Amino acid sequence: MSVLLDDDDPLVLYNSPGGWAKFGIESSEFDGTTHASGTHGDTATLAFEAITSFSGRPPVYTQGSHQLVVTIDQDVPLPTANPLNRTFFLDYFVYTTTSAAGKTVLIDDNDRSVTYSDSDNWQSSDDSDDCLERTNHVSMSAGSWVAVPFNGTQISLISAPGQKAFKASVSIDGSPAGQISQPQNKNQLFNSAVLSPGPHTINVTVLGGNSMAVDYFLVTSGSDAPIPAADPSQAPASESGPSSGIATAQNPPPIAAIVGGTVGGLVVVAIAVLAFILILRRRAKGRLTPANYISLVGP
């Protein structure tokens, strides 16, 4: 399973209080925060327990302790007039692990555990710059639904930026959990009440109005139990359950970590054994241009 850590998480250690600056002005950034630096020698360090795999090919490594160090190796000043220009922005980390107790588990819209009612009613995209991992699923067909099994004590649904008013119902373990019509907090469509620890299934059914976009789900994990398999019985009564034509649900990227952010200078990454993706966004005069993705593999 994938664990997501924000740049503001206390597990991320920044070496230079004078070099790293914290920003919170971009709604497209995860949790509305980033850390930025253009100072030579500044580092951001994350120690974590994870499984690593190189693009689904050998070598594959067992669960263990790893350390990721991102080092700025080029002096890039932070202009007072435009602090977003020519800087390195660190947004979030994602790593794969078998032990997620007490952590925030990420379930992307393209995760293979996510079930969509009908591929004809859901449109998928893999080039959405404002969405996590650049993917989302969208539907405006009344009766279409998405179901996600999870193991934890709370779950939230995050939409794509710019979500307009719509209507949808939510059920958890077959019991009504409320209706949603617009984002409640930034791009968050739904945040469940605290649940009993253990396996659950959430189902979100489109009722009408504008299209509803699914970007990702976040789960507060309460145990080390594996994510349960999808339960067709949690589908709406009007549906016959998940069909074989599931909407473009794909295997998640077989990577150990994803670092989201912006690079204006060169970055040196020192890590024991880790494959990760560095998400780049070029900012010119404070405006975003399409994201670039670079795969980096540690020694």
Q: How far is CA 132 from the centre of its chain?
A: 5
Domain 111-234 CATH superfamily: Galactose-binding domain-like (2.60.120.260)
Residue 169 phi, psi dihedral angles, 5° rounding: -110, 150
Residue 101 in 3-state DSSP?
A: coil
Distance CA 62, CA 52 (A): 7
Q: What are phi and psi of 232, to 5 degrees?
A: -60, -25
- CATH 2.60.120.260 residue ranges in the chain? 111-234
pLDDT of residue 75: 59
Q: Give the closest residue to 130 by CA, choosing from 262, 283, 258, 28.
A: 28
The terminus-to-terminus CA distance of the chain in angstroms comes to 24
The rounded distance, in Å, linking the Cα atoms of 278 and 105 is: 20
DSSP annotation of 229: P
Q: Rounded to 5 degrees, what are φ and ψ at 245?
A: -90, 55
- Please report, in tens digits, the pLDDT of each residue of the chain (299 residues total): 888 989 999 999 998 766 788 887 655 678 888 888 877 788 999 887 766 544 444 445 566 787 888 888 765 555 554 455 446 888 888 888 887 788 899 999 999 999 999 878 999 999 888 888 889 999 999 999 999 999 999 999 999 888 888 999 999 999 999 999 888 777 899 999 999 999 999 999 999 989 999 999 999 987 554 555 545 445 554 443 433 322 322 333 322 333 444 333 223 232 322 333 333 333 323 333 333 333 333 33
Q: What is the pLDDT of residue 108?
A: 96
